[in-house]
């Protein structure tokens, strides 16, 4: 209708400013920045030497078939399930999301900016681990690197969906960290974080294989070896993504 002003909608520039602001906040959070990058790198450095001497399949060592998939899954889980939800819970706790809901810059842009920044942090952590393994331990590239990237991307989305669910149900930043750690250690323990699933009872090992941490490790290991990805791996990651995102959408509150 003539004479009715068209409401202004922030464009890509405003999203870029939000991403920059989120990146600065993450960089200032020393623990949240260092732990998701340093812990996986420490796990790599303490296990890689022994793993490189253990030949498993077609000349591939335990470094390629177990340690690197585990380290990559560890980066994604720490950032997606533990780190990111604490930021979102803090925004809800301090009323940032509620105030943004009254402005043209919707809270959804804050969520998108946080996801972009934490995804970049995950890629940085994975890149550091891959670079260190290649330089110091002669890491071989995955036989099917396109498949490895696809599985890694799906696993990252699955981890983030769990993190969004944590953010949806956690009223405070501390509770977000606590709930995130419960999920992280549950998935990690059953998925092989502490010595491999073969040490677990068969029933628990089977459960761990369909949870996102174990499925990510198995999928990345198969891609490294050039083997087909088992359908149950893709199904479990996809189901985690859908269930986590749906639960987060239903339960999430801006305040």
Most confident of 4-13, 28-37, 153-162: 153-162
Q: Would the pLDDT of 6 be above 50? A: no
pLDDT at 106: 66
Please state, for a pLDDT cut of 70, what percent of the chain lies above it: 90
Q: What is the DSSP code string of 111-177?
A: HHHHHHHHHHHHHHHHHHHHHHHHHHH-PPPPTTHHHHHHHHHHHHHHHHHHHHHHHHH-SSHHHHH
pLDDT tens-digit map of 139-157: 888 989 999 999 999 999 9
66/95 Cα distance (integer angstroms): 43
Per-residue pLDDT tens over the stretch 204-247: 999 999 999 999 999 999 999 999 999 999 999 999 999 999 99
Q: What is the pLDDT of residues 68-123, one digit of tens each?
A: 999 999 999 999 999 888 888 887 887 777 776 666 666 677 778 888 888 888 88
């Amino acid at each position: 209708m003539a004479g009715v002003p068209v409401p202004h909608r922030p464009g890509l520039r405003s999203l870029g400013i939000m991403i920059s602001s989120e990146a600065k906040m993450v960089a200032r959070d020393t623990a949240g920045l260092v732990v998701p990058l340093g812990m996986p790198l420490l796990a790599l450095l303490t296990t890689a030497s022994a793993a490189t001497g253990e030949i498993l399949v077609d000349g591939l060592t335990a470094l390629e078939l177990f340690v690197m998939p585990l380290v990559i899954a560890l980066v994604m889980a720490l950032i997606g399930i533990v780190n990111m939800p604490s930021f979102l819970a803090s925004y809800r706790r301090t009323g940032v999301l509620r105030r943004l809901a009254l402005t043209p810059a919707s809270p959804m842009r804050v969520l998108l900016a946080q996801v972009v920044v934490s995804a970049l942090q995950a890629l940085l952590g994975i890149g550091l681990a891959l670079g260190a393994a290649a330089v110091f331990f002669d890491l071989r590239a995955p036989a099917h690197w396109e498949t490895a990237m696809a599985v890694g991307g799906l696993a990252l989305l699955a981890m983030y969906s769990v993190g969004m669910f944590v953010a949806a149900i956690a009223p405070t930043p501390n509770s977000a960290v606590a709930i995130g750690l419960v999920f992280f250690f549950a998935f990690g323990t059953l998925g092989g974080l502490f010595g491999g699933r073969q040490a677990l009872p068969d029933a628990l090992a089977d459960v761990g294989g369909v949870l996102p941490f174990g499925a990510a490790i198995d999928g990345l290991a198969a891609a490294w070896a050039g083997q087909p990805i088992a359908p149950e791996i893709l199904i479990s990651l996809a189901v985690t993504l859908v269930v986590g995102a749906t639960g987060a959408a239903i339960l999430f509150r801006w305040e």
